[in-house]
Structure 1
């Protein structure tokens, strides 16, 4: 009876970590990555469709400071440019024939501090999600198993929770180091 609850909790915790990893990847670090623009929603084809940049174009990095966006349909070039400008990412797209180039400006010390705080907020949200999964698993144990098995299950879930929180902490340390790198 313990294993199914534990497996469900493990899967939900991994999903929470994936969500947090995705959130952290969208925080600008001064280095060009496709994740900075791929999830920006664009009003394409005269505003009739909402699409993410990832669905409309190939996104590559030319070098450590330049993102290149090559739309599948050249007629959406202006829509993508406008969507990136509206998204308040601090990025400035430049149309160059049938592609868009985005040069990543260096981060100021103040902006780095803001991004580190934002990363910590996103990490804390991830930890909260993991803890909520732990609480759900503990409730399941109370409903399904005897008191001895419940204690054993709770210990296993706590170990799993500690492992997942440690992974989130590691992601946070990595992101902070990335943000502080000049």
Structure 2
């Protein structure tokens, strides 16, 4: 029984981690290095993650500065950001690339809140599927009736705990998005 519950807990932790990773990709009007996570740069003919080619800093609340280790790669990095289609126009000043995060409109904020609510709901669906698989695994093991009932209750308690974690993360992200 403990093995099944341990596996369920691991899967739920992974579901929460994936949701929170998706949350970081929703920008809140402030500079966030995570928007560049998926940016690949064609560096001397091979696709290379941007983070391996430059230092990325946040000099101001709504500005990212990308300073390449090799100045010859500036135009490649700029092109990589364009091709990644992350919604920003890079500004190349010859030394570094500046990305400015515009102030979010109320409409855009509400749209982003709607997106994170959908992400949270997707995570809850994953949890429900994990619960269903866990319950089936417990029933399949043919434990004594009392043990099976306790196991199913423990699975439900885990689901409740992780649903609360999802709600807490969602509220935190909503607050972040709606703060001007």
In the aligned structure 2, how far is the partner of 1:51 from the partner of 1:137?
Answer: 40
Q: Which sections of structure 1, spanning at least 5 residues, go unmatched?
A: none
How many angstroms does 1:96 deviate by?
2.4
Q: How many residues align?
A: 179
SS in structure 2 of the partner of residue 30 of structure 1: coil
The separation in 1 between residues aligned to 2:73 and 2:128, in whole angstroms, is: 43
Displacement of 1:152: 0.7
Report the counterpart of residue 13 of structure 1 in structure 2. 12
Q: Give the superposition deviation at 1:103.
A: 1.2
> What secondary structure sits across from 1:86 in the alignment?
helix
SS at match of 2:97: strand
Aligned to 1:111: 108
Secondary structure of the residue that 2:57 maps to in structure 1?
strand
Picking from 56, 77, 80, the partner of 1:80 is: 77
Q: How many Å apart are 1:43 and its aligned residue?
A: 4.1
TM-score relative to the length of structure 2:
0.90
- How far apart, in 2, do the equivalents of 1:57 and 1:142 lie? 53
Residue 6 and residue 82 in structure 1: after superposition, are their counterparts in 2 closer, same or farther (change >3 A)?
A: same
Matched, 1:31 2:51: no
Gaps of at least 5 residues in structure 2 are none
Taking structure 1 as the reference length, what is the TM-score of the superposition?
A: 0.90
Give the CA RMSD over aligned residues. 1.7
